[in-house]
Amino acid sequence: MIESPEKPPGRREIKSYVRHERRFTPTALARYRQLYSRYGLDPGGENWPAELLALWPRVILEIGFGMGTATLRMAAGDPERLYLGAEVFLPGILRLLKGADQEGIPNLRVIRGDGKETLKDFPESTLEGLHLFFPDPWPKKRHHKRRLVRGDFAELVCSRLKPGGYFLCLTDWEEYAGEIQALFRGCPGMTGPEGPGAPARPETEFEKKGRAAGRRIWEIYLRKASEI
């Protein structure tokens, strides 16, 4: 018998992802449930995310961590901050949960669900950083409405970051890189980097593929102004 973990309730809006039904074997499902109860979070409760922020006042949110390779390494190398990853791709979530467990990483939490909704859930000026590594470019024009970085996304990011907090985005899609830069340029609270540069990070799985195929990688690194 093959089963899949119950879906979190969806919220209506055009999504930046397509939910492919993935099923686990009963053993994988049991492991997923066991590890999710330790490292997973279910947003939406009365004290969400205040309770988390009380325990971990320094949070880096990552939307769409894929297989979680970079997330795991960054959390392991920065124990003072909580790395909170949101993803909808079940095999990737299970991989990251297993990695966190094997390495015993206390400052990592996972949300199975839409990371944009998680970003909205945070009160203003509470996040230290937002990581967006290779957001799906949705290359066809008729699919651009599915892109994560569009519309009011830059304002949303700016409002949720603490003053001095950063936004780090990577893409190998030139036209999307230009769109993202333009969108953030139109957001007065976000400035070019002053002070320390982008945090050190390992290659992500998509980055490896992109480089292997000879594609250029754009790194967009911006900070929220200390006073706006």
Positions touching ligand SAM (CB under 6 A) are: 16-17, 63-66, 86-89, 92, 114-116, 133-134, 136, 148, 204-207
Q: Which is nearer to ligand SAM, 35 or 88 (CB)?
A: 88
Residue whose token pair is 């950063």: 166
Nearest distance from C-beta of residue 62 to ligand SAM, angstroms:
8
Residue 156: CB minimum distance to ligand SAM, A: 12
Active-site hit among 101, 121, 136, 172? 136
**How near is the Cβ of 128 to ligand SAM at its closest, in Å?**
19
Q: Which of 206, 228, 183, 189 is nearest to 220 (CA)?
A: 183
Contact 25, 2 (CB under 8 A): yes
Identity of the residue numbered 57: P
User: CB-wise, 63 or 74, nearer to ligand SAM?
Assistant: 63
Q: Which residues contact 13 (CB under 8 A, 6 or more apart)?
A: none
Nearer to ligand SAM, 17 or 78 (CB): 17
Return the structure tokens found at 142: 């008729």
Instruction: Note if 152 is an active site residue.
Output: no
Q: Which residues are designated catalytic?
A: 136
